Amino acid sequence: MDVLERFMGYARISTQSAEEKESQPSTAKQFDLARVLEKELIGMGAADVRLTGHCYVYARIPSTLPEGMKERHKVGFIAHMDTAPSASDDHVTPRVVDNYDGGDIELGHGKVLSPRHFPKLLEAVGCDLCVADGRTLLGADDKAGIAEIMAMAEYFLTHPEIPHGEIEIAFTPDEEVGRGTENFDISGFGADAAYTVDGGTLGELEYENFNAAEGKVLIHGVNIHPGEAKDKMINAQLVAMEFNRLLPECIPANTEKREGFFHLCHMAGDESECRMTYIIRDHDKEKFEEKKRQFREAADTLNRKLEPTDASVEVSLRDEYYNMIEKIRPHMELVDAAAEAYRDQGIEPVFVPIRGGTDGAMLSWKGLPCPNLSTGGENYHGIYEYLNVNSMRKMVDVLVSLAQKLA
């Protein structure tokens, strides 16, 4: 099956994860794609295919190396099945724009994908692009990675004469809500090194990422009828605004590269109670710890101000993942091999710090070194997402080359 056909089929399956759910998977519909992948892997002849109760799909491509020859690494390739909660993935209708000419792309429903707002589009002139219809995200994050890994698997399984070492495959749930490795079976997976295929622009090769934490704020106000509120009311929503003003003004909209930020993701409430959710990010571990301290200090400052009323500010912090670079440095041969695989296909690798995270970050900290590779997708997590089809096809060749290099 062609890699584009695979991707478009996967994109039509709704797999959005949910931040507020404690179960894994956080949404049962992620099993809909997992079962498709399980069936396809069995059909193409992969070994040890299994779908777990927590919605992880594992498979193995046996080694074809001559008897007595041992591979350098049992290498794994990993992608995630869920899509981000930030935009709908219900009834995704992917379509291909052939030979993009550099102009505006009418997505549908009054939405336009334009190089005036997304100048990177001009780098794709002459390429085929896959887009959605203006209502939903596309799902290239990370169904493009899944399609590329599946195409690689099919290539090796239909060409047993091609020498390669043992290759492990895994597809995970809930990556977009920071829980993709929560029940990942590293020992059962069997790889001693792996790659997530979860990046963007063709050629990106990433082995450092944010340190990440989630911060939650619960504000208890004092609500009084507004006609009698003087010197009595403490509006929880106004306290929430003040909390936000106490944080440094580093937000995603004014930071780049290795600069960290505070990002207010969700806010809801009324005069009596208000809740906020933040994500806190920084590549530098000391700066990351300082941001968490500033988050707590904002609450302490407000609580001192609110004494002795019944109003209060409660905060909680939960670390989500850490910068993988500390765990990749001892295994730079993995980065070198990936760079060579890109160059084999005429692609100059670009080393960029991830302004986010991947399953590979947590897996690296759990003992499985796991750099990240590109997929060809752009504008993730929103309705303007698109996938460079030419890049996706090249990535299949990159994966095939990389698997052989590590034999």
Q: Which region, left, alpha or beta, applies to residue 110 given φ > 0 means left and ψ of -120 to 50 means alpha? A: left
Query: Does the annotation flag 266 for ligand binding?
Result: no
**Structure confidence by residue, pLDDT tens digits, 343-380:** 999 999 999 898 888 899 999 999 999 999 999 999 99
**Structure confidence by residue, pLDDT tens digits, 286-343:** 999 999 999 999 999 999 999 999 999 999 999 988 999 999 999 999 999 999 999 9
Euclidean distance between CA atoms 124 and 200, whole angstroms: 13
Q: What is the pLDDT of residue 305?
A: 96
Q: What is the pLDDT of residue 229?
A: 92
Expressed in angstroms, the distance from the first to the final Cα of the chain is 26
Neighbours of 273 (CB within 10 A): 15
CB 97 within 8 A of CB 105: yes
Residue 98 among the catalytic residues: no
CB 399 within 8 A of CB 164: no
* Residue among 154, 175, 204, 208 flagged as catalytic: 175
Q: What is the pLDDT of residue 78?
A: 98
Query: Does the annotation flag 159 for ligand binding?
Result: no
Domains of the chain as residue ranges with CATH: 3-209+323-405 (3.40.630.10), 211-321 (3.30.70.360)
Query: Does the annotation flag 73 for ligand binding?
Result: no
Q: What is the pLDDT of residue 358?
A: 84
**Structure confidence by residue, pLDDT tens digits, 78-93:** 999 999 999 999 999 9
What value does the mean pLDDT take over residues 242-266? 96
CB 186 within 8 A of CB 365: no
Residue 2 among the catalytic residues: no
Q: Which region, left, alpha or beta, applies to residue 203 given φ > 0 means left and ψ of -120 to 50 means alpha? A: left
For 175-226, strand residue ranges (E) read: 193-197, 204-206, 211-220
* Residue among 40, 71, 82, 168 flagged as catalytic: 82
